[in-house]
Amino acid sequence: MGCSPEANRSLLHPSFDGEAALADLVELCRRFGPRPAGSEPSHAQRRWIARRLESYGATLSEQPFRLRDPLDGQLLEAANLIASWKPRTRQRLLIGTHADTRPFPDLEPDPARRAQGYLGANDGGSGVALLLELARHLEGWLAQATIPLGVDLVFFDAEERVVGERGVYCLGSRHFVAHQSPQRLAAYAAAVVIDIVAAPDLTILIEPHGWIHAPQLTHDLFQAAAAVGAHGFQPRIGPAVFDDHLPLLAAGIPAALLIDIRDPAWHTAADLPQRCSAVSLAQVGHTLTHWLLQQLNDPA
């Protein structure tokens, strides 16, 4: 299932390191544990991510907002974190993920474990780790680019501050589009949202919302996966998923979601770092690298 040496050579800069991404995933789970939006571990994780992004040359901004705890109504502080490279360049690409974890593992069959916090190694951790590894290379890639594009990595908060059916999904991405100018939203040529991409038996299917509303972007991503030998990408229609790409699509941004919604550990206490795979992270990372470098260097 991995990327073959031949496939890796097809990349202009085959530098994405799945092992490094997995190490970041393990570290953020070890340091911060469960990270539901509005919690102190979530705030601490955001500060940690920000320091890493600054070391990679990003210009940072935050979008603070408030939400209500769906159980007790307590007012909580949350924030999206936006890392920009070439921030003054008008036309831009966006790659996003949610950084928060679900408050509880609602689908855990063991009632005792269900009452515990949800570590969210894959669902929450994998997207953050993948974006951090991309960030490590962006300054160099953009310095060699032949097309003037800026790149924003967005760490959405409060994607799932939800318990059972109580709460509202995608609060961070809703806030993101609601507080951007129409000109800024129109500047995004494409957006890719990453979620749940580290399960060992990676299966990424075509998400229907992206296929219907951003068919060229979806096609290009799966073509990039084929080019790098990422066999976990299977070009057939999968289930529709409510995720952070939907507010972006509603705002007129061509957006696609890369997600492995079939992970059996999804929303259970089994979503742990030891179940996550560097090979799966590498497949998605090399796919995004290939797609991104095509956008930066392909006049077509």
Average pLDDT, consecutive stretches of 10 residues, N- to C-terminus, the chain (300 residues): 38 74 98 97 98 98 95 93 97 98 92 88 98 96 94 97 86 97 95 98 97 98 96 97 97 98 94 97 96 84
Q: What is the total count of domains within the chain?
A: 1
Find all residues with CB under 8 Å of 7, minimum gap 6, and list them: 227, 228, 229, 230, 286
Q: What is the pLDDT of residue 165?
A: 77
Cβ(11)–Cβ(297) below 8 Å: no
Q: What is the pLDDT of residue 14?
A: 59
Per-residue pLDDT reduced to its tens digit, 186-208: 999 999 999 999 999 999 999 99
Per-residue pLDDT reduced to its tens digit, 223-248: 999 999 999 999 999 999 999 999 99
Provide the whole-model pTM: 0.94
Q: What is the pLDDT of residue 7?
A: 37
| Residue 155 burial (C-beta neighbours within 10 Å; 0-12, 13-18, 19+) | buried
Q: What is the pLDDT of residue 73?
A: 87
Q: Is 122 helix (H, G, I), strand (E, B) or coil?
A: helix
Q: Compute CA distances 159 → 6, 171, 175, 199, 265, whole Å.
A: 37, 6, 11, 20, 18
Q: What is the pLDDT of residue 115?
A: 81
| CATH number of the structural domain spanning residue 168 | 3.40.630.10
DSSP at 207: P
- Domain housing 106: 5-297
Q: What is the pLDDT of residue 207?
A: 98
Residue 32 CA to residue 38 CA, distance in Å, equals 13
